[in-house]
Amino acid sequence: MSLVNKAIPKVDSKALVTGKPVYTDDIAPKDCLIVKILRSPHAHALIKKIDKSRALLVPGIEGVFTYEDCPDKRFTMAGQTYPEPSPYDRLILDRRMRFVGDAAAVIAGKTQEAVDKALKLVKIEYEVLEPLLDFRKAKDNKILVHPEENWESLCPVGADNKRNLCSSGSDGKGDVDEVLEQCEYLVEQTYHTKACQQAMMETFRTYTYMDVYGRLNVVSSTQVTFHVRRILATAFDMPKSKIRVIKPRIGGGFGAKQTVVTEVYPALVTLKTGKPAKIIYTREESQIASSPRHEMEIKVRLGADKEGIIKAIDVYTLSNTGAFGEHGPTTVGLSGHKSIPLYGKLDAFRFVYDVVYTNVMSAGAYRGYGATQGIFAVESAVNELAEKMGVDPVALREKNMVKEGQVMDAYYGEMANSCALDRCMARAKEMIDWEHKYPCRDMGNGKVRSVGVAMAMQGSGISAVDTASVAMKVNDDGFYSLMIGASDMGTGCDTILAQMAADCLNCEMEDIIVYGVDTDTSPYDCGSYASSTTYVTGMAVVKTCETLKKKIIAQAAKFLECSEEELEFDGKKIVSLESDKEITLKDIGNLVMCNNEDALFATEAHSSPVSPPPFMVGMAEIELDKETGKVELIDYVAVVDCGTPINPNLARIQTEGGIAQGIGMALYEDIVYSEAGKNYSNSFMQYKIPSRMDVGTIRVEFESSYEPTGPFGAKSIGEIVINTPSPAIANAVQNAVGVKIRELPITAEKVYNEMNTME
């Protein structure tokens, strides 16, 4: 490998740091219509009457659109492979309002000022209904969030709108109750993780226009370009051939933009008026009407025998999907399937779940995608088990963790072909000096320092479901075009895919031009989610390069008038091993422009029957003030097994960023609702995300395994890195003062109150 596993700078780095116009709002013309949404003030209500006459008199207003102007056809905004497991429960605009902030009307005008004025002049008369706000009471409640008859579930996910169920199901092996009954040590606790916002720098935004062929063109900050096309076609009941979707650069996504949050609204305006239109969500809109992490309450029972072998794990997850079911059926599965398999000596496991509708902002995809919540619960329970047994939580894990070569029954029966979790634990333990710092040290000033630990696993794409493809061509002068359908959202996938291609073709990075996503020209890719790009799209790159090399050699054989078998391609020229004949790639590129019938073009697709998990160990060192309960993070070490890191610098940045987000979830971030369902956490003043000053020192290392099914031995890294901070920090609090915080975030008030309760 000459370029893979090297710290190559991002291919778009110069454009980004010099402020080139690369984002959606940069591309949209300044004279396009401005689109805004009039939002419901009620958590549950029916629109009785809308008076838009005064708003339409405002100079510059082009239209005010309501449910009467939209198709009565249900769809889902979840960007997932067809058939979508998320229920079809949305309308573009609906008569029924299901949360405070739900879209009641869309206003379009020539200026921001005109639209803002018109928003105040639209008068809506509501029939206010009783909302369902407590997700613990949602299942089989008399209040139905989705009573409509045209609600539809395309997949057998245990959904029933007449029971407020978005999804339900179970999985297991062995008799959990019997095994737990025989265990010497037992922990049974309930853990609660609240909704969290992705808080990406670039808010949701979309620009739409009609082209000269009468097709709807959509330029959007999205992770799921091809899914956007399908979702819009379904929502507007129009053929996909009439829609083109283009992804420019993305200013962060973290899963938020795997949901079609904004695209339907400017599309509606453009289809109605024929004019270009754009919508730019404010930060407040992104906070109150987007797609945060699913709130979950997770009950865990686990037990160990006298020797400390964990024999059984029982998990029940109750997930709050909110007003709509985007990603509800799929996120919940990860809460069990990517936490239970961390322990490789189980005799039995059980995983049961319900996903319920409520009258709050609908949830969606967020980095970690359900595994984050489940790992907090299971890892916290393991830490409590260690305390009950009187053993070091690291030692307990070393005795029970999954090892390479084991079959993971709770992970769809897959085998751990590549697993360096044991080496990750050993290295993390060394980095943080666990032997000397565990469990805690009294600093003599009313403060105590302690350490905590957690393990995590994730996946690499969705096995046997998602597909990625790429296309490559040889241009004149012999340089390459690499056309991809995966969305680079700042993670650097354009760079790592080019690195892999350059290594396969034995050329320089400068010889490859990466072309971003356009549904008219890019090969199909499911999009950038489920930690799939490096593993799934990367393998499509490898396969495409192999096909293209064969075509280059075949073309050279024709020009040199010799057999393909005697030719060798070194990246610059093709040389005959039996004679002195040779031809450069540059010459081939130029010669095929004339009198040629064989295009030097290749495209291949890849879908994997397995999803090899990356593994990680995180350890936190905190300082806890016993007077106030305040927790300060001092040091965080992370050791990750992502197979072969394709670009170590980008992998490290991914890890550092994910850990920072995990620290925010653990210590700061909290969505708070009023008794009437209003979201109080509508800005960064109310919704605290950590700054650089709040995350302490973050140190990252890699323990590489080799994944035989991945490109160059690689697995994913994008999501796993967010999963360990919350249980590791909770464990550090437990080791410091004996307090067990089972609801995030871990605030000073919670720690202080629990300390006083213990006294």
619 CA to centre of own chain: 23
pLDDT surpasses 90 at 758: no
What per-residue confidence (pLDDT) applies to 644? 97
Mean pLDDT (whole number) for 259-281: 98
Query: Residue 759: its pLDDT value, please?
Result: 64
pLDDT in tens, 601-626: 999 999 999 999 999 999 999 999 99
Rama region for 696: left / alpha / beta (φ>0; ψ in -120 to 50; rest)? left
- List alpha helices for 309-439, DSSP H: 328-337, 371-389, 393-400, 421-432, 434-437
pLDDT, tens digit, for every residue of 12-52? 888 888 988 889 999 999 999 999 999 999 999 999 999 99
Determine the pLDDT at residue 490. 85
429: which residues sit within 8 A by CB, 6+ positions away?
394, 435, 619
pLDDT of residue 652: 97
**497-540 tens-digit pLDDT:** 999 999 999 999 999 999 889 999 999 999 999 899 999 999 99
> β-strands 468-474, 601-606: how paired?
antiparallel
Residue 32: closest CA among 279, 263, 204: 279
pLDDT at 729 over 90: yes
The answer to whether the pTM exceeds 0.75 is: yes
pLDDT score for 489: 86
Separation in Å, CA 531 to CA 33, 365, 369, 528, 718: 36, 12, 10, 7, 6
Side-chain half-sphere of 579: how many Cα atoms within 13 Å?
Answer: 11
Q: What is the pLDDT of residue 1?
A: 75
For residues 98 and 506, what is the distance between their CA atoms, to the nearest angstrom?
Answer: 56
Q: Which of 105, 117, 104 is nearest to 60 (CA)?
A: 117
pLDDT at 478: 95
SS (H, E, C) 90-159: ECCCCCEECCCCCEEEEEEECCHHHHHHHHHHCEEEEEECCCCCCHHHCCCCCCCCCCCCCCECCCCCCC
Average of per-residue pLDDT across 545-556 = 97
Q: Is residue 453's pLDDT more than 90?
A: yes
* pLDDT per position as a tens digit, 198-240: 999 999 999 999 999 999 999 999 999 999 999 999 999 999 9
Question: Measuring CA to CA, which residue among 631, 630, 605, 607 is closest to residue 620?
Answer: 631
Mean pLDDT across the chain: 97
Phi then psi for residue 105, to 5 deg, are -155, 155
Residue pLDDT, tens place only, 90-109: 999 999 999 999 999 999 99
- Quote the percentage of the chain above a pLDDT of 70: 100
CA distance 343 to 378: 10
pLDDT (tens digit, 9 = 90+) per residue, 221-231?
999 999 999 99
